[in-house]
Amino acid sequence: MRKLIVANWKMNKGIVQSQQFAEELREYTEKHKITHCEIVICPPYTSLEAVHRKLDGSSIAVGAQNVFYETSGAFTGEVSAGMLKSCGCEYVITGHSERRSYFHETDAIINKKVMAVLDEGLKPILCIGETLQEHEDKITEAVIEEQINHCLAHIDSDSVRNIVIAYEPVWAIGTGKNATPHQVEHAHNFIRRKIKKIYNEDVANNIRIIYGGSITPDNASDLFSSNTINGGLVGGASLELESFIQIINSAKK
Ligand code: PGA
């Protein structure tokens, strides 16, 4: 399976910086014929269309960092999946731990968002993962099992194939403390077994499970050398073109 490398810029970069990054990344990938992995850039809402214009016709896709689950109406400040599609988005991050903790998103809300994204024919990147306390209490499996059960409720086996699961242990996000490849493999294998139980073996073998949490050029090769880790969701290290390119190149076999 080709690795999926996703840049999550979070609340960083205005239009000018976003366009410049997109242009330079496109130039690099075209010049060096980068085809070993699939790349997705998730800028803030305000830069989506500008980045899409710069990347249109390239092999790099655009994604959003969030979405609201209603299609339209009186929801001041919110953005629907259809609106994201009209900006050129193919992917939408749902259930990021920062959304869960700062904006009180529950698994039930995230489930609605995942369904809204699928209804528009876009691909959700569903984030799950345990907190530091849960990690220390050794209840990681129970936590991610619960998240999967609720976030994937009402989603059938045809639709689930369009979902990317991002395992992001909360204690590793933005902390500089990445999970080890061994820890990630363990969690990914658990997630795949769980998907097999809910759906079937074919779905489980083909669903993409990526890792996120303090990925850097220094640890990316180790993480990506594992076949059970199908790519990465990169926050801080995706903000600088050079480090993001190094991470992309780490996904080469
Ligand atoms: P980080 O963020 O790479 O800065 O830890 C990852 C994420 O939040 O998706």
60-83 confidence digits (pLDDT tens): 999 999 999 999 999 999 999 999
Q: Which atom of ligand 1 is nearest to the CA of 97?
A: 8
233 alpha carbon – ligand 1 mean position (Å)? 7
Distance (Å, rounded) from C-alpha 92 to C-alpha 226?
25
State the pLDDT at residue 181: 96
17-65 confidence digits (pLDDT tens): 999 999 999 999 999 999 999 999 999 999 999 999 999 999 999 999 9
Q: Is 96 helix (H, G, I), strand (E, B) or coil?
A: coil
6 alpha carbon – ligand 1 mean position (Å)? 10
The first and second tokens of residue 129, run together, are 């993962």
Please choose, from the candidates 208, 236, 232, 228, the residue with its C-alpha nearest in 3D space to the C-alpha of residue 220: 232
The closest residue, in CA terms, to atom 1 on ligand 1 is: 235
74 alpha carbon – ligand 1 mean position (Å)? 32
Give the β-pairing of 60-64 and 37-42: parallel
The number of C-alpha atoms within 13 Å of 17 and in the hemisphere containing its C-beta is: 12
**CB-count exposure of residue 141 (10 Å: 0-12, 13-18, 19+):** middle
Which residues lie across from 18 on neighbouring strands?
Answer: none
The first and second tokens of residue 210, run together, are 């990526």
The closest residue, in CA terms, to atom 6 on ligand 1 is: 235
Q: Which atom of ligand 1 is nearest to the CA of 6?
A: 9
Q: For the chain, which domains are there? A: 3-250 (3.20.20.70)
80-110 confidence digits (pLDDT tens): 999 999 999 999 999 999 999 999 999 999 9
**Is there a catalytic annotation at residue 130?**
no
State the pLDDT at residue 204: 97
Q: How confident is the model at residue 233 (pLDDT cuts 50, 70, 90)?
A: very high
**Residue-wise over 162-193: b if at least 16 C-beta within 10 A, else e?**
bbbbbbbbbbbbeeeebbebebbbebbebbbe
Dihedral, CA of residue 156, residue 158, residue 159 and residue 165, to nearest 10: 90
Q: How confident is the model at residue 133 (pLDDT cuts 50, 70, 90)?
A: very high
State the pLDDT at residue 132: 94
**CB-count exposure of residue 12 (10 Å: 0-12, 13-18, 19+):** middle
Q: How confident is the model at residue 111 (pLDDT cuts 50, 70, 90)?
A: very high
Residues above pLDDT 70, as percent of the chain = 100
Active-site hit among 96, 98, 130, 188: 96
Active-site hit among 98, 135, 168, 188: 168
Which residues lie across from 133 on neighbouring strands?
Answer: none
Q: Please, what is the average pLDDT of the chain? A: 97
State the pLDDT at residue 160: 98
Are 209 and 228 spatial neighbours (Cβ–Cβ below 8 Å)?
Answer: yes
Helix (H) or strand (E) holding 40: strand 37-42
96 alpha carbon – ligand 1 mean position (Å)? 10
**Is there a catalytic annotation at residue 96?**
yes
7 alpha carbon – ligand 1 mean position (Å)? 9
Ligand 1 neighbours (beta carbon < 6 A): 8, 168, 173-174, 212-215, 233-237
